[in-house]
Amino acid sequence: MGRLKGGANTEAEAEKLSLAQLELLISGAEWRFERATNSNLRKQAFKRLTWLEAQRERLHGIDAPDRRLPGRQTSVE
């Protein structure tokens, strides 16, 4: 399987992807999130990653992990 150009940016585009293609996009988003060089890039990658995982859950029933952006956790009092 080759590299996906652009991937999916809407629910309609995500519906056209196979599970394998969606997994490829998720792994790329994880890679970008882990290697982001500044907070803005990290936040963008995190948003993309969580959106893609939500699409995978919606379309294929694979539970999305409960992720929190480090430094943004809410405290329970």
Q: Supply the pLDDT for residue 29.
A: 95
Q: What is the pLDDT of residues 13-72, one digit of tens each?
A: 999 999 999 999 999 999 999 999 999 999 999 999 999 999 999 999 999 999 888 775
Q: Supply the pLDDT for residue 73.
A: 56
Type of residue at 2: G
- Asked if residues 22 and 14 have their Cβ atoms less than 8 Å apart, the reply is yes
How far apart (Å, rounded) are the C-alpha atoms in residues 66 and 68? Answer: 7
Tokens describing residue 38: 């500044």
pLDDT at residue 77 is higher than 70:
no
pLDDT at residue 6 is higher than 70:
no
